[in-house]
Structure 1
């Protein structure tokens, strides 16, 4: 991709799954990646994996609780002092505990909202003000097709992701004058450790995944590696006239 070599990129939730794949791809493209994750061991392992692969760029792990604005501000300040000005922010961190809405309560709702909605908002507050001062930057928010079409047993999560899409479009309008482009990428069902934690493993889990795959036109569930190419593109010079978009990557499961 054009224009990524040497650029600083923050990726939240980069210690596993989709986030790990994004971190490795951006490092391969030559970025200096600041990997934000609450799990320091997982973050260090991804950084080592990138070094072992001989990536053109680098991966530096940072422990950051994205639900805490003060912690985010401190982490972003540290990144800029150690790596340089942030060119690209990828808000990828997310979490859910699927269950019928009427069986859940405020404690779970708040946890889901704090991580999936306020987390990205905190990162925008800390990073975009610095981008605005420099009149350049890119933001990619990893939302979900759940935020576009809804999904059973994930009502609050879907609300957060729908909010992320609307927030992305609003920020794209506000920040266009500062040459900051803001877009959202919306994954469909993806075979990740997070899904395995919910669906479990073994024959029954495999049957469930196969059943889900049959409803996808491409006849397979997504893998984490299906997303980083689009995210790298949105951070590159090739995407210099794209902003305010919500791009579905779902194997054709949702088409609009």
Structure 2
């Protein structure tokens, strides 16, 4: 009789997989890139920043995790460049297992004063780029027989706040798009889910604090205590480590039956 114990695959082991993460040169996107790279996943980074700093980040991630890390400078305003980023991953790294649509921008202003160009940019980057990347990724994932799509939406994909009309509209669109993709791919072993963070301490939030202080005619300190963290019962920022925990579950085999959800990680914001 064979008394050997069965060998179970570690669900956190992503060795041999490839991830594309938009908006991953800083903030949430970079935290997610580090999380999958640390578990053996090759990564395509994307995002804005100083080219030399981006190269330092790419090289450091590659060296410290022992994985292949590439960078693609796709402009999220341009659908053809977004699609090319996905094709680049397949061409350079041989496959595509994980797509993370994370790139986003924000502009804070009352609706009647909201600049048209800012509306168009926010819808294009926060919503339309998600469509273009997902459309390009689906045929690759179908051919492989497996895939994980994670859209970084926002608590503002579930609820609204004043002065954020374009952002709220875009993130609500991401949540709806996530559900549709999940239903279409339900029998293809491809999941599609959204993570909806509350306020996370990132460069994007720092810019929001300054904008909100301007639009409300108050100090940054008051915006933090009375506006930003007032919505979160925990009265603290969500950490990127807390986001990566949920993210790693969704991209692992443990998350195979979880699809079409919009997971709030918001310090209790949407419990009210």
* TM-score, normalised with respect to structure 1: 0.91
Specify whether residues 200 and 106 from structure 1 end up closer, same or farther in structure 2 by C-alpha distance, changes over 3 A only.
closer
Identify the match of residue 115 of structure 1 among 120, 125, 137. Answer: 125
**Relative contact order, CA 8 A, sep 6+: which one is greater?**
1
Once the two structures are superposed, residues 36-62 of structure 1 have per-residue CA deviations (whole angstroms, 9 ceiling, x without a partner) of 22446253243234246x225343221
Runs (5+) with no aligned partner, structure 2 = 1-10, 212-217
Which piece of structure 1 moves more, 71-80 or 227-236?
Answer: 71-80
Report if the CA contact (8 A) 1:141-1:184 is conserved: yes
Q: Secondary structure at the match of 2:72?
A: strand
Aligned partners of 1:40, 1:128: CA distance in 2, in Å?
31
Identify the match of residue 44 of structure 1 among 22, 43, 55. Answer: 55
Report if the CA contact (8 A) 2:100-2:152 is conserved: yes
Identify the match of residue 158 of structure 2 among 145, 148, 163. Answer: 148
- Residue 179 of structure 1, CA deviation: 1.2
Which piece of structure 1 moves more, 87-96 or 220-229?
Answer: 220-229
- Residue 76 of structure 1, CA deviation: 2.0
Counting matched residue pairs gives: 255
Report if the CA contact (8 A) 1:117-1:160 is conserved: yes
Matched, 1:158 2:168: yes
Please name the residue that 1:254 is paired with.
Answer: 270
Report if the CA contact (8 A) 1:40-1:61 is conserved: no
Aligned partners of 2:231, 2:158: CA distance in 1, in Å?
17
Specify whether residues 96 and 214 from structure 1 end up closer, same or farther in structure 2 by C-alpha distance, changes over 3 A only.
closer
Report if the CA contact (8 A) 1:30-1:56 is conserved: yes
Aligned partners of 2:230, 2:155: CA distance in 1, in Å?
17
Report if the CA contact (8 A) 1:66-1:122 is conserved: no
Report if the CA contact (8 A) 2:189-2:256 is conserved: no
Identify the match of residue 178 of structure 1 among 176, 188, 193. Answer: 188
- Residue 89 of structure 1, CA deviation: 0.2
Once the two structures are superposed, residues 200-241 of structure 1 have per-residue CA deviations (whole angstroms, 9 ceiling, x without a partner) of 49x942442233335422220123333122112111111111
Matched, 1:233 2:249: yes
Once the two structures are superposed, residues 13-35 of structure 1 have per-residue CA deviations (whole angstroms, 9 ceiling, x without a partner) of 00111111111111111110111
Report if the CA contact (8 A) 2:13-2:39 is conserved: no
Q: What's the RMSD between the two structures over aligned residues?
A: 2.2
Aligned partners of 2:18, 2:34: CA distance in 1, in Å?
14
Report if the CA contact (8 A) 2:103-2:126 is conserved: yes
Please name the residue that 2:21 is paired with.
Answer: 11
Please name the residue that 1:74 is paired with.
Answer: 84
Aligned partners of 1:167, 1:25: CA distance in 2, in Å?
25
Aligned partners of 2:26, 2:233: CA distance in 1, in Å?
27
Aligned pairs (5 A) from 1:93-132: 93-132=103-142
User: If you compute each CA radius of gyration, which structure gives the higher value, 1 or 2?
Assistant: 2
Aligned pairs (5 A) from 1:27-66: 27-39=37-49, 41=51, 42-51=53-62, 54-66=64-76
